Each structure stands twice: as structure tokens, then as C-alpha cells.
Amino acid sequence: MKHFLDIHVTSSADLRAILDQAAAMKAARGNAPRATPDATSPLAGRMVALIFEKPSTRTRVSFDVGVRQMGGETLVLSGGEMQLGHGETIADTARVLSRFVDLIMIRTFEETTLTELAENATVPVINGLTDASHPCQILADVMTYEEHRGPIRGRKVVWSGDGNNVCASFLHAAGRFGFDFTFTGPPVLDPAREAVDFARANGATVAIERDPQRAAAGADLIVTDTWVSMHDAQSARERRHNLLRPYQVNGRLMAAAKPDALFMHCLPAHREEEVTNEVMDGPQSVVFDEAENRLHVQKAIMRWCLGV
């Protein structure tokens, strides 16, 4: 049994095997209608629990469709439908779910919820997102970059804005896949120190550059994310907008990067806030390829977890 909890606790060899599997499965499907089953059914007879304590579009749809394409069944649960960590301990929830399903994906808030679930489950657990990381997204991002530009090793990735959970997973990926990473944003929103230290300890060059134009110089990929969370109060939203406005990804910032640089965003995007329409809809944007690849990567992650 293998859990997929984070990029930095998964070996480079296993991550590469997941990406290779994802690419092979995507190619095998070709242009088949979305509800057409895969040629093989590796999840036939399997039940997958999808737990959402946080709202979701891409994570929910991609996991649900992926399980069905591979011949399995899904049980979708929201935080309001469960007693996770409230009326029942997380440990007991893990033990109970393990009697009914073959695999658990959870999208939650606290990292401790994920780890406690994994420690007590007797089936594999997948991290669909926590406040600390978003590993499924970043594997899709690496897959997307390599589809368009070849190996990501040795490339320069620039993150502009808030050093949040997605940024942390990009730093973990820098350590595992061998690309360089530059963060540009205000000091109060710097990425997690542990993520920076991990990337550097594993050979990645990590830079913090406050000037976004200087940061973007020579970039192969520029990435951003929303400036505010759906849970932020209005006062927090206003403060963050004031802090982050200089780090908007716009035509001027993309012009500072390499001519063939790509732009990514994990979505949903707040257009004309963290990124302009010009960039989102421009020729360097691969945001919808990136979103689609969540499906293929997560199918490969589930197969890796179950060994099928």
C-alpha cells in the first residue's frame, strides 16, 4: 500500500513513473468521447471515496471522471455530510472508510487531517489539497510543461505573488525534478521556509527577488495563483490586493521572460487581478491544457497507489 501525500515524500523515480504512466494513458485515449472507458479497466471492482472539506471544480471532476474511465466507482462526500474530526475522530473515520472503499482522496484544510487519516487508514490515501500543499496540481503542471517544451530539468520557473500551498509544492518539485525556482512577492507572503530548504537541499537553485521584472528575466515558465481565498474577510482581501498588485502577471512581465516562456495558473483565476486577460488568453498560456492534465496525472497516481 502506497499513499500519495506530498511530492517531497515521494521519490523522484516514483514521480517520474507516475508522469510516464499519465502520458501513456493520455495517448492511449486519443480523442475518445469522455465517457468512453479506457481500453483496460485497472480500477474495475474498486470503490474510491472522494472527500471534500473544501469546495472544488477541477479536483472533483478530474478524480470522478478518472475513476469512471478506469472502470471504478466513486463515493463523493462533503465535509458537511461527514463527522470528520467533529463527532468522530479522524482516526476512527479512517478505520471505518477502509472497510468500505479501496482508496481515499481528501481535499482538506489542515495538514494534520491528511496525515492522521493516512496513519490510520488501511487503504491508500491521496492528498487532493491541504493548506500546506497541492501535489496533484504540480504533477499536472510538470506534465504540461514537458508536453510543450521538453524536460523541465534545468529550466527556470518563476512564481509571482503569494507563496502559498501551490507555491510550496512547486518548490518540492524543484527539488525532485531539478529545475530552478525564483519567487517574487512581498516579504510577508514568502513561501514556507521548509519548502525552500527542501528544494535547496536537493540541488535546486532557489532565489527570492522582490523586483518582478528582474525575477522574470530568462524565465521558461511563469506561474501565479489567486491573491485571496474564498474564506478571507473583505479587509484581508483589500490588504492582499494592495500588497500584490505589483506582482500581477501581465504582458509587461511576460515580455521580461524568454520569448517562448509559458504561463500557468492552477485556476480558478480572478481575471484582471493576479493575471490579465491578455496573458490568460494569449499564446503563451497553457492553463486549460494544465487543467485537463489533472485528469491524466490523477489516474496515474491512483494506479500507482493501488499497484494496478
3, 8, 29, 134: which is the annotated catalytic residue?
Answer: 134
Residue 107 falls in the annotated catalytic set: yes
| Cα–Cα distance for residue pair 232/130, rounded to 1 Å | 16
Instruction: Return all residues near 299 (Cβ < 8 A) that are at least 6 apart.
Output: 22, 25, 66, 69, 70
Catalytic-labelled residue, pool 172, 240, 265, 294: 294
Is 137 labeled as catalytic in the residue annotation? Answer: yes
**Catalytic member of 136, 167, 266, 305:** 266
Catalytic residue among 3, 29, 60, 107: 107
Q: Which of 46, 60, 137, 248 is catalytic?
A: 137
Rounded to 5 degrees, what are φ and ψ at 32? -60, 145
Active site residue 136: no
**CA nearest neighbour of 129 among 197, 187, 60, 80:** 60
- Give yes or no: 294 in active site: yes
Which one is catalytic: 141, 180, 220, 225?
225
| Cis amide prior to 135 (ω within 30 degrees) | no
DSSP characters over 151-198: --TT-EEEEES---HHHHHHHHHHHHHT-EEEEES-GGGPPPHHHHHH
Catalytic positions = 107, 134, 137, 225, 266, 294
